[in-house]
Amino acid sequence: MEKKELRLLLENVADGSVSVDEAVLKMREEPFGDLGFAKPDFHRAVRQGVAEVVYGAGKTREQIVKIVETLLAKGQKTVLITRMSPDAAAFAEKELPLFTYDPQSRIGVAGTKPEPDGIGRILVATGGTSDMPVAEEAARTAEALGNEVVRVYDVGVAGLERLLAHVHDIMSARVIIAIAGMEGALASVIGGLADCPVIAVPTSVGYGASFGGLSALLSMLNSCASGVSVVNIDNGFGAAYLASMINHMEGRK
């Protein structure tokens, strides 16, 4: 049961179209399943607002499909699979309904893709073309979580005029995900232009002394621009998840 469905159920109890006993029965459904090798969480969306996401790396293709089938059978409309291998995707395409896969981001999606229902738009920007696998992981994750996404790629500080050509997109975004390797300067520059939260993602792109993304990570952590937060190296998924949470938060009194 997703959070929206829970709210609708309670509203139906309030208006009398659903009895209290029927609602109790619905809410008492098992919170998780037990497949032996995995315990799919059926109440994740009620607790966190977002249904369970399947991390594909390290799982067999059969395990991935079984977990996804179980989640779909329990009413989850969209199942996102991250870090999915092409072999697992080819197998899933034969076994799962409405399955799509993007090899660049290694993102798979089973079920129906939601319509955007976030407050505004999420901007995903990269320093270079080499950062696009991480950027697409972020962008496709955000879309699967119900967000409108604007992509602005290859706008790194080596050619600052490229970024400045997108000032309107920066100024109109609700959340920005800034993705860069090398020295990771893009996040600070965008942070100095934007009036919204900026989530920085360091990537492992760079020459030897970049230390697999550590250089960009430390630069982003030490950004002098206010409003910049940082996730782990190459963690496009984590950045998109956080961005989606921000984009779905209504004003609180």
Question: Rounded CA gap, 164 and 186, in Å?
Answer: 12
DSSP state of 131: G
Q: For tokens 């079984």, name the residue.
A: 66
**CA angle at residue 173 from 122 to 158, to 5 degrees?**
90
In order of their start, the domains of the chain are 27-111 (no CATH), 121-247 (3.40.50.1970)
Question: Rounded CA gap, 155 and 139, in Å?
Answer: 16
State the pTM of this model. Answer: 0.85
With contact defined as beta carbons under 8 Å apart, do 119 and 90 qualify?
A: no
The radius of gyration computed from the CA coordinates of the chain, to the nearest angstrom, equals 20
CA 176 to chain centre: 13
pLDDT number for residue 253: 39
Q: Per residue of the chain (253 residues), give pLDDT as tens.
A: 455 666 665 677 777 776 776 666 565 566 767 778 887 777 677 677 788 899 999 999 999 999 999 998 888 889 999 999 999 999 999 999 889 999 999 999 999 888 998 999 999 999 999 999 999 999 999 999 999 999 999 999 989 989 999 999 999 999 999 999 999 999 999 999 999 999 999 999 999 899 999 999 999 999 989 899 999 999 999 999 999 999 998 754 3
pLDDT number for residue 12: 72
Half-sphere exposure of 199 (CA within 13 A, CB side): 29
**DSSP string over 35-70:** -SS---BTTHHHHHSS---EE-TTS-HHHHHHHHHH
